[in-house]
Amino acid sequence: MRRPAPLQLRPGLPVLPRGDREVQVGLDPRWAVRLVDLPPAEAALWSTVDATTDLTALPARAGDAGADPASVAATVDDLRRAGLTRVPPPGPGTAGPAGADARAWSLLAVDGGGDAVVARRADAVAGVVGLGPTGLGVARHLAVAGVGTLLLDDDAPVSPADVAGTHRWSDVGTPRALAAARALRDAVPGVRVDGDAEPDVVVVVEHHAADPGRAMLLMSAQVPHVPVVVRDADAIVGPVVRPGLDPCLRCLDLHRTDVDPAWPTVLRSLTSARAPAVTEVGVLAGAAAALAAAQVLALLAGTVPALCSASVELALPDLVARERRWATHPACGCVTPPGTTDAGPREA
C-alpha cells in the first residue's frame, strides 16, 4: 500500500497546552484554533507535535500514547481542512535572511508555499528612485528579502543627513546610487544592482509632494509603482498604483484640486528645484521604508497590496498610522473614461 505524502503543520504554528483536555494551535488570531474536549492522552500527544512532525504518522503513535488512533486521524483531517497544514517542500528550504520571510509566507500563502514565494523573488526586478535614508531603507529590505535585481536611481551626493540611514560617513559626497549599491552588496552579496531590465515595480521616494511628470511616465509604461512622500515631520506611503486598476496619483491631485483650487500652483512650487530641502528623520524613514517594501513584496507575491486605493500617513512623534481611502477621479480617465462617475474605490 502506498504511503501517504507527509503532512506537517505550517511553520510558525506552535502547539500549546491549555489544560488536560485542550491544546491551542498557533497564536495569531487570523488562524489560531483550539482543540477542545480531548481525552487527556490525546491532548498530551498533541503537545509533542511541532512543525517537523509528520502528521500522517501521528495516528500510528496514538496507541503507544494511550490515545485513540481514529480520533487523532480525525483531528489531523480537521486541521488539514482548516488550512493549517502543508506538504513539506523538497530540499532544505530557504536559508539566510530570507528564511524568516519564507516562514511567514508559509502562513500567509494559500498553499503554504512560503519557500516558493521567496524563491520567485530572485527573478524579480524592483526600481527605487530617491536613495536618501528612506529609499535606501526600501532597497535594503527588498534585497534582504531576496529580490534579485534592484535598479537604483539617484545621482544626488550623499549628505551628512543621509547617514541617518544605511549610508556611511565615508560615503558623504558620493552619488547616492553608487553608495547604495555598495551598501546593498555588503548586506546581500548576490544582489544585482545594475542592468537594463524592465522593472516589475518601482518605489519612488520624493519630498513634499509626488512629481506628476514622473507618475505619468510610470503610468504610460504600465509599471506598478509605490509612491512615498517624505515631509519634515511625516511621511505618506501609497497609494499603490497598478495602472488601469487603481486610482493613480493624478486622481489624488484632482481630488485635492476639487477641495483647493490653488493646489496645482502649490504643487508646482513643491516639486520645483526651489522647494525647501527636507531632512529625513531616522525613525520616520525606517517606518516608511518598511511599509513601502512590504507593499512591494505583497505585489510580487501575487496578492493585492493593502494600500491599493489607500495611503497611510506616518506622523511624528509617535508614528501611529492614519489611513486614507482614495477613489478614482471621474475627470482622470486612468480607470474610468472622462465624464463618467465612480462611486468609490474599485474592488480588486
Cα 348 to its chain centre, rounded Å, is 17
Residue for cell digits 519564507?
Answer: 102
By the 8 A CB rule, do 303 and 248 touch? no
DSSP 346: P
- Omega cis (within 30) before 305: no
Q: Give the pLDDT score at 98.
A: 80
Q: Which residues contact 161 (CB under 8 A, 6 or more apart)?
A: 132, 133, 279, 280
Q: Give the pLDDT score at 2.
A: 55
The neighbouring-strand residues paired with 225 are: 202, 241
Distance CA 238, CA 216 (A): 16
Q: Which 3 state secondary structure label does DSSP give 241? A: strand
The CB density around residue 346, as the number of other CB atoms within 10 Å, is 15
Distance CA 130, CA 207 (A): 9
By the 8 A CB rule, do 142 and 297 touch? yes
How far is CA 168 from each of CA 176, 189, 289, rounded to the nearest angstrom?
11, 18, 18
Q: Give the pLDDT score at 39.
A: 93
Q: Give the pLDDT score at 3.
A: 63
Q: Give the pLDDT score at 100.
A: 85
Q: Give the pLDDT score at 285.
A: 94
> What is the block-wise mean pLDDT of the chain (348 residues), using blocks of 10 residues?
75 92 93 93 92 91 90 93 86 74 87 88 96 95 95 94 83 94 92 89 96 95 97 96 96 96 94 85 94 97 95 96 95 67 40
Burial of 339 (C-beta count, 10 Å sphere; 0-12/13-18/19+): exposed
Single-letter code of the amino acid located at 216: M
Angle CA 57–60–62, to nearest 5: 115
Q: Give the pLDDT score at 171.
A: 92
Distance CA 13, CA 24 (A): 9
How far is CA 260 from each of CA 27, 63, 255, rounded to the nearest angstrom?
47, 74, 9
Q: Which residues contact 330 (CB under 8 A, 6 or more apart)?
A: 336, 338, 339, 340, 341, 342
Q: Give the pLDDT score at 342.
A: 43
